[in-house]
Amino acid sequence: MCEPLNLEGFKGLTDDGLCTIEASCATGFEPVVLEEVKELLDCDGRVHRGRVIFDIPIQKARETLKLRTVNNIWVLVGHTHQFVYPESSEEQLVSLADFADKLSWEKSLEVWKDVLNFEGTIYKDEETEKDNLESNPKKPRLEDMPSFRCSCYRTGTNHKFKSTEAQISVGGRIHDKFGWNVKMKDYNMEVVINCDVDQVYVAIALTNKSLFYRTLTQLGQLALKPTLAASLVKLAKVEPGEVVLDPMCGGGSIPLEGALLNTGAFFLGGEINAEGAKRCRTNMTGVTSVHTEIKYPPLMDCFQGDAVNPCFKDGCIDVIVTDLPFGRRSGSKADNRVLYPRTMNALARLVRPDTGRAILLTQDKASMFKTFNQINKYWKLSRFFGVNIGGLKGLVFLFNRTADLYVPKAPKVKKIKS
């Protein structure tokens, strides 16, 4: 778990018309998520490490699923910064269960039910349950009630219990309170209890499956998560009518997510590997059939091509957005020291002078820093910042195209001895 939540100024836990949302993202991209929350939902939020917190009217909670830069979403049930842990592990577990039991669950459950379109019964009907018990003693619970699991995330040294023990204790109390079925897989609802040194809060997941790969029908070995791809495109500040190229697109996450952001720009993906280009095409053509909420063909296309020898005329591309090779699972960092400058200089010919820009993600920061002196005629570094991607610490670089026209280097001519 990350640092404690700062809920000062948020009213979602006390205002009947609002709910407080926690949305997670890759560390480093929090400002991008905050910007999307403001643009899409018209909500002001607060950045925490790896997540963003914001209030939203309960009738608009379902719209949080339209966010393209977040991984998971929760609605908060209750929170305290003044939790005192007793001495023994048994007492601590009872205190956590008591805390969850005494919370007001009604509003958060209604939000969950609406967002996930659950059509069953949330609250047990004692009379119906009594009749059900008499007719079938082995089946005391209603069939249409949700199944759930409880998860626990904790940090700090003052916990004398294990996360699994907290899950059992709190989950058991929730089961007694609502009568829901306990199910570890294929459940309807996930209840999460987060424990810090003196902070405890309970939340309900609005995304039982991570949004990592929601637009991909085929995954490759090095597929970039669509939520990261959407974040990179948001950083590019793409304008309507612009042409955006990912010259190393792999499975096509960047052009696909870019097109689904409805920027009015056209997105192209290039991939040198034939299987990768085929996978990209499959993902692009399959998005409207697998995801029925997408009612229009996105503005995108892909091709098989070499980033070092691009097949486009000069100045026809406005923006480059790409995930450069890390040199870990594919290639090597020694290869990158040659590939990076060659690629950037080759792309300089395609990108419009003065107004063009490039957003690059890489874990091989050493190779990129060594590239600067070889590309500074055509590319000016605007800024860079660190990100954490699945435990890998990478950097995102934002370059602006200089006004210099691209001049290809004259080929070396070997002198022939007479």
Measured between alpha carbons, how far is 388 from 408 in angstroms, rounded to an integer? 37
* Structure confidence at residue 292 (pLDDT): 61
* Structure confidence at residue 127 (pLDDT): 47
CATH hierarchy code of domain 18-205: 3.30.2130.30
CATH 3.30.2130.30 in the chain is located at 18-205
CATH 3.40.50.150 in the chain is located at 226-401
* Structure confidence at residue 140 (pLDDT): 45
104 alpha-carbon distance from chain centroid: 29
Measured between alpha carbons, how far is 116 from 391 in angstroms, rounded to an integer? 30
In the β-sheet with 45-48, what is the strand arrangement from edge to edge?
45-48, 51-57, 18-24, 72-80, 200-205, 189-195, 147-154, 181-182
Measured between alpha carbons, how far is 116 from 149 in angstroms, rounded to an integer? 16
* Structure confidence at residue 138 (pLDDT): 47
Q: Which tokens sit at 187?
A: 């459940």
CATH hierarchy code of domain 226-401: 3.40.50.150
Q: Note the pLDDT tens digit of each residue in 151-184.
A: 999 988 889 999 999 999 999 999 999 999 999 9
> With a cut of 50, which residues of the chain have pLDDT below it?
1, 126-130, 132-133, 138-141, 328-330
Residue 34, phi-psi category: left (phi > 0), alpha (psi -120 to 50), beta (remainder):
alpha
* Structure confidence at residue 208 (pLDDT): 86
